[in-house]
Amino acid sequence: MAMMEYIDAIRLAMKEEMERDDSVFVLGEDVGVKGGVFTTTKGLQEQFGAERVLDTPLAESAIAGVAIGAAMYGMKPIAEMQYSDFMLPATNQIISEAAKIRYRSNNDWSCPVVIRAPIGGGIFGGLYHSQCTESIFFGTPGLKIVAPYSAYDAKGLLKAAVRDPDPVLFFEHKKCYKLIKEDVPEIDYTVPIGEANLLREGDDITVIGYSLPLHFAMQAAEELEREQGITAHILDLRTLQPLDREAIKAAVRRTGKVLIVHEDNKTGGVGAEVAAIIAEECLFELDAPIFRLCGPDVPAMPISPPMEKFFMLSKDKLKAEMLRLAQY
């Protein structure tokens, strides 16, 4: 075990997979010489060479297209998008090609590509560097989508994604890069795609979410238990597609009160589908309406630091909503 930041866990996962399998390679803007805009690929080109860590032009559709073609040809590409906002020029490649190739080829072709992209605000990046785009891809059958909260899961899920025979979108919250730090095994391990993780047991309320907001939920839960005696049951989805329906239902049934949290917009977000699952399968086991705390439905993240702080979720916002649910 080694104490490791979230960003280091991602880098280590790529390094280990490239050492394990010569067909794994990395491509993207500034991933080579610069080591990535956030340094996620720092040192990889020095170790593996320019043929396996490729600097590309600023053309996301081309990055995705090259990666998809290489995957269909038998390689294991890890394509980095500097920000998830920049995935939008590549949506046709991802949704119309990668997600559908196995289906339209009658299972003759597969596309084992991983597309990594940082999501979320917190760096004063404004409208072009702060979006959460997971809901854009969430409703596309054929794609697997993961969004780890912990450093342990970041490493294990990325390794699982590289080994998966189908396309995986790997969303990493840029605020987690340096904020989240924990012991991570230096040995080879994977975290199964499609399995949620119970972060905390409790009896009064259930919180379901993914990525950065869970950090605030855990902090709020500790304070609520200490100050009010309220215990929170917290479930980390980890995988957004496919959702772990059984884990969701079990978490809801534990308390009968559920709060769904994510930074993405409330309307049409992943939380809406989670709420639908609960309403369809656990309705009569609820003791309160389904609560959702999400990013506001505005066109973009404000670039002003005070406005960004107002926009984003926080420990205090989570704590207030968790208390409101407990008192319902």
DSSP code string of 188-250: -----TT--EEEE--SSEEEEE-STHHHHHHHHHHHHHHHH---EEEEE--EEES--HHHHHH
Q: Express each pLDDT in 95-104 by its tens digit.
A: 999 999 999 9
Q: How confident is the model at residue 150 (pLDDT cuts 50, 70, 90)?
A: very high
pLDDT computed for residue 206 by the predictor: 99
User: Average pLDDT of 174-180?
Assistant: 96
User: Average pLDDT of 275-279?
Assistant: 98
CA pair distance 181, 231, nearest whole angstrom:
24
- Phi, psi for residue 207 in degrees, rounded to 5: -115, 130
The correct answer on CATH 3.50.50.60 for the domain covering 2-184 is no
Question: 233 catalytic, yes or no?
Answer: no
pLDDT computed for residue 214 by the predictor: 98
Q: How confident is the model at residue 130 (pLDDT cuts 50, 70, 90)?
A: very high
pLDDT computed for residue 308 by the predictor: 92
Q: How confident is the model at residue 222 (pLDDT cuts 50, 70, 90)?
A: very high
CATH code 3.40.50.920 region(s) in the chain: 197-326
Q: How confident is the model at residue 213 (pLDDT cuts 50, 70, 90)?
A: very high
**Are the C-beta atoms of residues 257 and 205 closer than 8 Å to each other?**
yes
User: Average pLDDT of 232-258?
Assistant: 99
Q: Which residue would you say has higher pLDDT here, 176 or 300?
A: 176
Half-sphere exposure of 129 (CA within 13 A, CB side): 12
CA pair distance 5, 176, nearest whole angstrom:
8
| Sign of the Cα pseudo-torsion (299, 304, 310, 316, in order) | positive
pLDDT computed for residue 145 by the predictor: 99
* Cα–Cα separations (whole angstroms), residue 293 to 39, 258, 314: 31, 11, 11
pLDDT computed for residue 89 by the predictor: 96
pTM of this structure = 0.97
Dihedral of CA atoms 264, 308, 6, 268 in degrees, nearest 10, equals: 0
pLDDT computed for residue 287 by the predictor: 98
pLDDT computed for residue 138 by the predictor: 98
Q: Express each pLDDT in 15-64 by its tens digit.
A: 999 999 999 999 999 999 999 999 999 999 999 999 999 999 999 999 99
The CATH T-level fold of domain 197-326 is Rossmann fold (3.40.50)
pLDDT computed for residue 273 by the predictor: 98
Q: Which residue would you say has higher pLDDT here, 305 or 17?
A: 17
Q: How confident is the model at residue 257 (pLDDT cuts 50, 70, 90)?
A: very high
CATH code 3.40.50.970 region(s) in the chain: 2-184
Q: In the numeric block, which tokens belong to residue 98?
A: 């990668």
CA pair distance 237, 247, nearest whole angstrom:
9
**Mean of all residue pLDDT scores within the chain:** 97
